[in-house]
Every structure is written in structure tokens, then in C-alpha cells.
Structure 1
């Protein structure tokens, strides 16, 4: 059964005439008659009483009309819903954000996107970067924002932010009043880092190893404010994004902006390679690119 057959049937029922219906839908009357005859044969019933001046529905035709109207309305609803998605009047996507990244950059971005597209639903999940990658591969998230690089064979990537991590030390530290720090000089320092499931952990560790030493990790946390408090208490040094450092009380810690060599903190929107992205997700990627 073809949806067009039902639509043509409804037109004949509406006009009570094959000729008027054929003019309305711009097909020839013989073609219309053939379509209706095919529908009757498929259903095994006569739909129209053709013996009267006006074409009248049979009892079976009245039943088919009721259901055909429901099918036609459902098709219109489907087309309208797809149009809403493509024009971003509706839609949804899931987005994974590591806590430090979400707190640093995205509250205003998400607020402005929601203002532009109020009917789009963003399902936010806070996870470490590595967990976000795993959930993307498992199909549990549509998009993620993580520290780059990631495996290009597994993920599509759109870079959005290029930054360097800043060194945070206690006020009584020997580097507290220096304008520049050399990473290799920190080899004997206790480090306070984000937990291993966070990409920042690996970025700092890899940078240290490249300078010939493995960092002595004294504490790990998933919360930047706890890391900050530990540094305040003189328990070690840390590397944090400048957006987080801007929130810190400079009467309690010192932030050294120039570190040699710099530890890159580059962010990107990523998604699983060859996966389907909704119109809303694609628009959010473009919006993030424009903002950053």
C-alpha cells in the first residue's frame, strides 16, 4: 500500500468526484482511477459507489477514510517534526564536559545557545576527558569537549581553544615572586594534579617526562578548588588553566604564567568518527567555533 493511494483516496472522498479530485491533485483521471482500483484490490473491498451521480463512499470506504485520515495526519506530523529539527525549532543532543572545562568556558556559551534555540535540549554530563572519550565510543554521548589531542582514527575533532597551563605555587615557595619558571626545575617538587581520568593529568605528566623526570604526584583530585586549597596549605605545586587561576585569591597563592617549555592546553569538540549527528548537534559545533 502506497501513502499516495490513501491521499488520492481522501481527495476523491472529499470532492465526491474523480474528475474534480484529479484536477485538485494534478494527475489524469485514468491514473487516479487506476490508483483507487489498485487500493480496492489490495484491501479486497469496494470503496466507492460509482452508480450514483456523485461518487459516494461505501460502508467499507467510510472505515478506510477514518484510518486514512489518521495516517495522513501522522505523515504531516512527521514532516513537520523533521522540518522543526532541520530548522532548529526542536531537537536535542548530549554533551560531555570535564568539570574544569565546563566551569571555565561553557556556562555563558550554553546560555547564549539556549537563548538562540530555546526548543533545543542539551543533555549535559560531567566526566573526565578519558571517560568522555569512552562514552562517545559506546554511543552514550553525541559530543564531548576534551583536551587535545585525541585518536584521529576514532574521533572527528574541531579545535576551539588554544591555551597554556599556569604554574600555581604556595606564597612561600621559592618561585612565588618569579616571572618565569623552568619545568625541569620542579623535578623534586610534590605535584597536586587532577585524577588520572582527566586529560590534564596526562598532559602535565607527559610534559614532565619530556623534560627528563617523572612528577612526584602527592595528591590527586577531581575538584580544582580542592587542588587550590592544597596548594594554599603548602602541600605542593600544580598546573591549572588560566581561567581557573583567575578565580584564585592571589593573597594565598602565586600564579606563574610563563613556564618553559609551555604545557599546551588545547580544547576541541569531538565526536565518534562516522557517527550520526543531529542538526542541533551540528549547529552547536558551528556556534562553538564562532564563539571561540
Structure 2
């Protein structure tokens, strides 16, 4: 039994058909059938029932499939790590990020990372959370930096500290002398907020006994803050985004509403081998100097 035979076997198991597996492997069908026969003879078990049009994997085949996948993954990981060791710590790290993190968190993290690992190059793509999730799923970017909430099913993540929702406004809307606001003080006020937070904000309004007066929903947080500065309404925005626009006319006060709390999450795909640059980049988020409350489990 060798690694090539295991790859052949895994491909047959995935395709459920010898001819399709041979096509995927760019080889003729007879040699592939012969390799499967030799493997079965070596281990002493039938791996597929061949009495139907689609080959049915046996119990022994299922066991081998699990172990073979682990062996192949380990071989690939070892090969990659040895290559990194031989060539020095270098490579390309692809990151998808929401625009707010792209302007605040990412520059800080990459500057620190580059000082330690100057051989790593970066490819950064800014987009909205839903698109970044898809890019990470498809392997187009290896690491995503997004804002909660999102569906965790396909991802592992690092959760950074929670951020309260802030009301950002000019004098004519709210009392700037108050240190914070309860959510019901927004009743009847024109609100500006990100499309991502629509459901949570409208639900919070409903729970407070009123319907949101939505002046604008938008995907661009900087534009939202500029409109708040122009007096169009009260911008509702997570605390870590209020520095996107510097304007002395704006007041920022926390809204005491736990259901609107959000946080930045750094994500990567489950059951996916991370490149060495990606693993070290993720580990940098546990730095006590930068994010004392970050939580991470990398595997």
C-alpha cells in the first residue's frame, strides 16, 4: 500500500464510479481498476460492491477511506511544512476583510506581522461579510475578517472583544450631555444603520414598543457617518467603527442594548489545511499586547 494507491482509492470513493475517477485522475480505466484490485488483495478486504451501476463502498472501505484521508492530509501538511523550512518562512497570505477592519485592524496587524515575517506577501480583498464568507468557503481567500452575526457551521473562528452599539449624532437629535442612552430614547428619531444590522435593530425597536423610523440602510459605514454629520439622522454603528470619520460636530454615546452588541471575528474554513503563514497570522491575534481577550483554537 502506498500513497498513490490511497489517492486512487479516495478518488474512486468520492466519484462512486471507476470511469469518472479515471477521468479525474487523467489516467486510463484499466490501470486504475488494476490498482484497486491490488489494494484489495493486499489488505484482504473487498472495498466496493460492484453489482450496481454505482460502486457501493463496503464497511471496510469506509474505514479505509477515513484513515486514507488522514494519511494523505498528513503527507500534504508535512510536505508543505518541509518546503517552508527549506525556503525560509515565506509565501502569500490571502485575506478577505470588511472595509472597517481593512482601515483599522488590518494595517495594525500586518505592520506587526511584517516586522517578524518579512518574507510573507499579502493579497487583501475588501468586501461585505456575506461575500467574504463565500470567498473563504471557496478557498479564494484563506482568512476572513468579518463582523458578527454569521453562520458558524462551516468555519472556525477567533472572536475579538465585544463592541456595543453607539449612537452617532449632531446636537439637534439627542442630549449630548448624557453619557449613554436607553434604546427607547430612539423612538421617532430618523435612524441610519448598516444593512447587516437591520434584523437586530428592528427587533430591538419592536421589543421597546415602537417601529424603527428608518431614514437609510446602507452598506457603507463611512457614508453613514458623513450623513449623520450632515444632520440626516442618528447613525447606529459598533464602537470600533466610530473613528472612520473624524468630525468635531458628531457626538458618540453608547446605547444600552445587549442584543445589538457585535464583535469582529477572524475566520477560516473547517477541515482545511492552513498554510504556515496563515497559522502564524492567526496566532498573532492572541498577542497580549494587541488583543488580550481574543480566543483561538487552531488545528
TM-score range, shorter chain: 0.5 to 0.7
What residue ranges of structure 2 are gaps of 5+ in the alignment? 1-77, 292-299
Matched-pair contact (CA < 8 Å) for 2:149–2:262: no
Matched-pair contact (CA < 8 Å) for 2:84–2:276: no
Q: Partners of 2:242 and 2:81 in 1: how far apart?
A: 45
Q: Partners of 1:169 and 1:242 in 2: how far apart?
A: 14
**Structure 1 pair 275/153, CA: closer, same or farther in 2 (3 Å)?**
same
Q: Which residue of 1 aligns with 2:39?
A: none
Cα shift at 1:210: 4.8
Q: Which residue of 1 aligns with 2:9?
A: none
Matched-pair contact (CA < 8 Å) for 2:168–2:250: yes
Q: Which residue of 2 aligns with 1:69?
A: none
Q: Which residue of 2 aligns with 1:261?
A: 257
Report SS of the residue matched to 2:271.
coil
Matches for 1:40-79 after TM superposition, within 5 Å: none
Q: Which residue of 2 aligns with 1:104?
A: 104
Does residue 242 of structure 1 match 2:239? yes
How high is the TM-score relative to the length of structure 1? Answer: 0.63
What residue ranges of structure 1 are gaps of 5+ in the alignment? 1-77
Q: Partners of 1:99 and 1:205 in 2: how far apart?
A: 24
Matched-pair contact (CA < 8 Å) for 1:88–1:120: no
Does residue 280 of structure 1 match 2:280? no
Matches for 1:174-185 after TM superposition, within 5 Å: 174-185=174-185
Q: Whose radius of gyration is greater, 1 or 2?
A: 1
Cα shift at 1:82: 3.5
Q: Which residue of 2 aligns with 1:229?
A: 226
* Count of matched residue pairs: 212
Matched-pair contact (CA < 8 Å) for 2:170–2:251: yes
Q: CA RMSD in A?
A: 2.8
Q: Which residue of 2 aligns with 1:148?
A: 148
- The worse-fitting range, judged by mean Cα deviation, of 150-159 and 79-88 is 79-88
**Structure 1 pair 141/249, CA: closer, same or farther in 2 (3 Å)?**
closer
How high is the TM-score relative to the length of structure 2? Answer: 0.62
Q: Partners of 1:95 and 1:207 in 2: how far apart?
A: 33
Cα shift at 1:271: 1.3
Q: Partners of 1:121 and 1:170 in 2: how far apart?
A: 42
Matched-pair contact (CA < 8 Å) for 1:161–1:268: no
Matched-pair contact (CA < 8 Å) for 1:168–1:255: yes
- The worse-fitting range, judged by mean Cα deviation, of 149-158 and 269-278 is 149-158
